[in-house]
Structure 1
Amino acid sequence: MAFSHSLIFFIVLQTNFLQIDLSKEKTTMPNREINLKNNGESVKVDPHFKHSTNGQAVDYLTNVSIKSDNEFLHIAFECLQDDFVEQNNMVVHNDPLYNQEVFEVFISPGNEDSKHYLEIEINPNNALWVGTINNPTLGEETQTLEGMIAHKDAGILHEAVKSSSSWNGRMSIPWKLVGRDPKGQYRINFYRIRSKQSHPEANWTCDAETCDFICWSSTLSGESPAFHRPKRFGFLTVD
Structure 2
Amino acid sequence: MFFRSAALLASLVTASLAADPAVPSLNVPACPKKGTVVYETSVPDRTSFPKTQVDLCYDKSAIHLTFTAYNETNFFYNASAMTNDAIYNFEVMEAFIYHGKQDPQHYLEIEIAPNNVTYNAFVYNPSKVRAAGAEFGHEFITDIYGYGMQTTTKLDHAKKLWTSNFRVPLGIFNIDNGAACGTDWRMNFFRTIVSPATYPNQTLGGWSPPNLASFHITPYFGHVKFI
Q: Check if 1:73 corresponds to 2:72.
A: no
* 1:124-203 alignment, distance < 5 Å: 124-139=114-129, 141-142=131-132, 144-151=136-143, 152-164=145-157, 165-180=160-175, 184-195=183-194, 197-199=195-197
Q: Check if 1:236 corresponds to 2:227.
A: no
Q: Secondary structure at the match of 2:216?
A: coil
Cα distance in 1, alignment partners of residues 29 and 156 from structure 2: 32
Q: Which residue of 2 aligns with 1:219?
A: 210
Cα distance in 2, alignment partners of residues 87 and 134 from structure 1: 27
> Which segments of 5 or more consecutive residues in structure 2 lack a partner in the other structure?
6-22
Q: 2:27 aligns with which of 12, 24, 35?
A: 35
Shift of 1:168: 1.0
Q: Which residue of 2 aligns with 1:102?
A: 92
Q: Secondary structure at the match of 2:66?
A: strand
Shift of 1:56: 2.9
The residue type equivalent to 2:60 in the other structure is: N
Change in 2 beyond 3 A, CA 1:127/1:69: same
Cα distance in 2, alignment partners of residues 114 and 62 from structure 1: 24
Shift of 1:219: 1.1
Identity within the alignment, %: 23
Change in 2 beyond 3 A, CA 1:32/1:96: same
The residue type equivalent to 1:123 in the other structure is: A
Shift of 1:72: 0.9
Cα distance in 2, alignment partners of residues 87 and 120 from structure 1: 16
Q: Secondary structure at the match of 1:49?
A: strand
- 1:82·1:166 contact (CA, 8 Å) conserved in 2? yes
Shift of 1:156: 0.9
Cα distance in 1, alignment partners of residues 222 and 77 from structure 2: 31
Shift of 1:65: 0.8
Cα distance in 1, alignment partners of residues 113 and 47 from structure 2: 24
Q: TM-score, normalised by structure 1?
A: 0.76
Change in 2 beyond 3 A, CA 1:157/1:140: closer
Change in 2 beyond 3 A, CA 1:140/1:63: closer
Q: Secondary structure at the match of 1:98?
A: helix
Change in 2 beyond 3 A, CA 1:65/1:53: same
Shift of 1:135: 1.1
- 2:76·2:91 contact (CA, 8 Å) conserved in 1? no
Cα distance in 1, alignment partners of residues 103 and 174 from structure 2: 16
- 1:49·1:217 contact (CA, 8 Å) conserved in 2? no
- 1:44·1:63 contact (CA, 8 Å) conserved in 2? yes
The residue type equivalent to 1:154 in the other structure is: Y
Number of aligned positions between the proteins: 200
